[in-house]
């Protein structure tokens, strides 16, 4: 079942679809066709936004790393207030 939000910019939709599919099934097993289908965008939109699957993967990994850093920082701040 898809939980990808079909609202927002093409970039946001592609990253949401990539996040869902890559996390569940792995980067190497998920093809571009599945990502664009899940995101509800045309293949040309993916390539005009990211240029390649590799760049989509890079953006996906950067977003996951940023989210992890935010969670760690929030937890450290909570501990500091205790």
Q: Over the stretch 58-67, which tens digit does the pLDDT of each residue have?
A: 999 999 999 9
- State pTM to two decimals: 0.84
Q: Over the stretch 18-33, which tens digit does the pLDDT of each residue have?
A: 999 999 999 999 999 9
Percent of the chain with pLDDT over 70: 91
Mention every residue, 6+ apart, whose C-beta is less than 8 A from residue 45.
Answer: 10, 14, 36
Q: Among residues 69, 71, 70, 39, which one has the least CA distance to residue 56? A: 39
């Amino acid at each position: 079942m898809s939980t990808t939000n079909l609202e927002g910019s093409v970039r946001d939709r592609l990253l949401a679809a990539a996040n869902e599919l890559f996390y569940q099934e792995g980067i190497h097993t998920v093809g571009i066709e599945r990502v664009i289908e899940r995101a509800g965008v045309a293949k040309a939109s993916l390539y005009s936004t990211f240029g390649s699957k590799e760049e989509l993967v890079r953006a996906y990994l950067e977003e996951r790393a940023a989210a992890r850093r935010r969670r760690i920082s929030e937890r450290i701040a909570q501990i500091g207030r205790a």
